[in-house]
Amino acid sequence: MTYRVTPADIESYDRDGAVLLKGVVGPEWLDRVAAAIERDIETPGPFFHSYDTEGKGRFHGNLRIWQTDPDFRAYCFESGLPKLAARFFGASRVNLLYDQLFVKEPGTAQPTRWHNDQPYWPVRGWQVMSFWLALDPTTAENGRLEFVRGSHRWDRWFQPEAFGKTEVNTYDENPDYETMPDIDAARGDYDIVAWDMEPGDVIAFHALAVHGAGGNLRDDVRRRGYTVRYTGDDARFDPRPGTAKALWADGLKEGDRMDCDLYPVVWRGEAASAA
C-alpha cells in the first residue's frame, strides 16, 4: 500500500469526520480480502450475524474475523492501514480495535440505520477511527455510505441498536446516551455527504461521525464492505453500558490502555513525524 495521506485529507477528516481516499488498496490486497470474505460467507467465524432482510437478498455481518482468518489478519496488521491511522491521529502508537464485514447481496433493500460507532465500543478517547474498504463499485443504488458532515464534533452519543433483527447484538440502555433523531425524515436539515466508490477506495471516518447506508437495490451487483477500526495514544478501555460485549477484553480494567491480545499494538513510531 503506497497511499500517502495528504494535509488536505487530514483537514477534511478533522473538519468533516469522514474523507474518501481514492485507490488506497491495490489488486493484491483486494484479492486476498475478497477471497477471505468468500471463506467467511462459506464458513463464518464465531461472531457471524446475518441481519434479517425479510426474505429478500442477504446481509452478512461478522466481526473479529482477523482472529480466525490469516488474510484478514494480514490486512489489519500489514497492509499499511495502521500507519495511515497514525497519520490521521498524529499518534505514536496504534492499536487494532477490531474488524467487521458488511456484505449486502443483490436485492438486499435493508438500509444500515443511522448511528455513530463509539457508543457501541468499550473505548474512550478522541483517536478512534475506521477505514471502510469498498470491494465493489458502490453508488447510491447499491448502498453507499452516507455521513452527516461534522457530526463527530457534536459530542452526541446515540444509543446503540441492532442494524436489523439478529439473534446476537443486543445492547444495554445507557442513560447518558440519546435516541438517534429520524435523519431520513428531515434530510434537508442535515449536511449529508456521500461518495461513489471504486474497489480499493477507502473512507476514513471518526468513531463519533454519524453515518448510515442505503440498501442494495441492484439485482446485479453485490456491495461488499470491510471495515477495520483502530485507536491511538489517548484511547482507554471503557466498558460502559450499551457497548458490545463481544468487544470487551478480558483482563483490562476501565481506564487501562488498550494494549492486550484483543487490541494488539499494530504500529509504533514518532508522533511528531506522524502529525
Ligand X SMILES: O=C(O)CCC(=O)C(=O)O
Would you tell me which residues interact with ligand X (CB under 6 A)? 102, 112, 117, 130, 132, 211, 213, 225, 227
Smallest distance from ligand X to CB 100, Å: 6
Nine-digit cell at 151? 457530526
What kind and span of H or E run contains 16? Answer: helix 7-16
Smallest distance from ligand X to CB 105, Å: 12
Cβ distance to ligand X smaller for residue 82 or 214: 214
Residue with cell 425479510: 54
With the C-alpha atoms ordered 96, 88, 92, 79, is the resulting torsion angle positive or negative? Answer: positive
DSSP bridge pairs for 145: 213
Assess contact for 79 and 25: CB atoms under 8 A.
Answer: yes
Smallest distance from ligand X to CB 68, Å: 19
For 18-54, give the DSSP string.
Answer: EEEETT-S-HHHHHHHHHHHHHHHHS--TT-EEE--T
Cβ distance to ligand X smaller for residue 181 or 269: 181
Cβ distance to ligand X smaller for residue 12 or 108: 108
Smallest distance from ligand X to CB 198, Å: 16
Q: Give CA–CA dist 85/103, Å, rounded.
A: 24
Smallest distance from ligand X to CB 271, Å: 26
Cβ distance to ligand X smaller for residue 145 or 252: 145
Instruction: Return the exposure string of 223-253: e unless at least 16 CB atoms fall within 10 Å of the residue's CB, then b.
Output: bbbbbbbbbbbebbbbbbebbbeebebeebe
Cβ distance to ligand X smaller for residue 110 or 274: 110
Smallest distance from ligand X to CB 130, Å: 5
Smallest distance from ligand X to CB 227, Å: 4
Cβ distance to ligand X smaller for residue 12 or 216: 216
Cβ distance to ligand X smaller for residue 169 or 227: 227
Assess contact for 132 and 146: CB atoms under 8 A.
Answer: no
Q: Give how far Cα 97 sits from Cα of 83, 143, 210, 237, Å.
A: 14, 25, 19, 11
Taking alpha carbons only, the member of 95, 92, 89, 47 closest to residue 69 is 47
